[in-house]
Amino acid sequence: MKIHHVACLEDNYSYLIIDESTKEAAVVDPVEPEKVLKAAQEHGVDIKLVLTTHHHWDHAGGNEKIKLLVPVIKVYGGSIDNVKGCTNKVENGDKISLGADVHILCLHTPCHTKGHISYYVTSKEGEDPAVFTGDTLFIAGCGKFFEGTAEQMHQSLCVTLASLPKPTRVYCGHEYTVKNLQFAQTVEPDNAKIKQKLSWAQQQREAGLPTVPSTIEEEMETNPFIRADLPELQERVGCKTAVEALREIRQRKDNWKG
């Protein structure tokens, strides 16, 4: 399995997921279809599937166009998310195959939108899995609670995604990492891992390189939203429970002027 970033719009990422033995590919959130098809051509692969994380235009807005450009393509999206151009609605636990060796598990991760799906992707033994988290889990952050509650985001982040194997690579929908880590420092000023990662992320961006992927393990060390389960973090933000802490940190982030 190979994964390639396709930078779109101002700070979005689409991704090509390639099954190496068959040269078949899936694309996550192809908001700029021509860019994605050019990347597929460069890698010599055929796009068979679209995996849509959620209905917002900057993720699903290219679906109708890619269907015109690749008429046999299947477009997957959350069953309750009203995804544009969707041909195959998915729910939590649904499985999709790509080529010979790539297996995709659909995880319902609601809050940012009510039908948001993250896609957990595995391949041959010995290869680290990957998860495409759209706007639910960002590197060192999480999406705004547009259509859901802190309880839902806690379930999505701290239960569903946090239970994936630690080496799982995290591919999110936007390049927000530097700002997210700067905010994370305001929550946990003594966290050395946040400081190290921020320094690395700034160097990556200065070199014009992505900060994605992270891993589930790195998120557990540096992401204040997924760390809301930790009693010491709850205490630091003046809360008694993980859900309260998550709500408080999200409100602080929404008001942060960094």
Q: What is the pLDDT of residues 78-103, one digit of tens each?
A: 999 999 999 999 999 999 999 999 99
Residues in the chain: 258
* Cα 14 to Cα 174: distance, rounded to the nearest angstrom: 9
- In the beta sheet, which residues pair with residue 90? 78
Cβ 186 vs Cβ 258: under 8 Å: yes
Do 150 and 243 meet the contact criterion of CB atoms below 8 Å apart? yes
What's this model's pTM, rounded to 2 decimal places? 0.98
pLDDT of residue 125: 87
φ/ψ of residue 146, rounded to 5: -65, -40
Q: Please report the sign of the dihedral spanned by the C-alpha atoms of residue 167, residue 106, residue 26, residue 143.
A: negative
Which DSSP string corresponds to 47-113?
Answer: EEEEE---SSHHHHTTHHHHHHHSTT-EEEEETTS--TT-SEEE-TT-EEEETTTEEEEEEE--SSS
Type of residue found at 80: I
User: What single DSSP character describes residue 174?
Assistant: B
**Which residue from 210, 201, 163 is spatially nearest to 182, judged by alpha carbons?**
201
**Is residue 68 exposed (0-12), middle (13-18) or buried (19+ Cβ within 10 Å)?**
exposed
Confidence of residue 241 (pLDDT cuts 50, 70, 90): very high
Pairwise CA distance, residues 220 & 230, whole Å: 10
Placement of tokens 């942060």 in the chain: 256
Give the whole-angstrom CA distance, residue 114 versus residue 145.
10
Beta-bridge mates of residue 121: 104, 130
Residues 6+ away with beta carbon under 8 Å from 74: 48, 49, 50, 87, 88
> Above 90 in pLDDT, residue 258?
no
Active site residues: 54, 56, 58-59, 112, 135, 174
Q: Look at residue 236 and give its three-state secondary structure.
A: helix
| Residue scoring higher pLDDT (231 or 258) | 231
Domains of the chain in sequence order = 2-255 (3.60.15.10)
Q: What is the pLDDT of residues 169-216, one digit of tens each?
A: 999 999 999 999 999 999 999 999 999 999 999 999 999 999 999 999
Predicted local confidence at residue 18, as pLDDT: 98
pLDDT, tens digit (0-9, with 9 covering 90-100), for 59-85: 999 999 999 999 999 999 999 999 999
Name the β-bridge partners of 137.
142
Q: For residue range 121-130, what is the model confidence (pLDDT) as tens digits?
A: 999 888 999 9
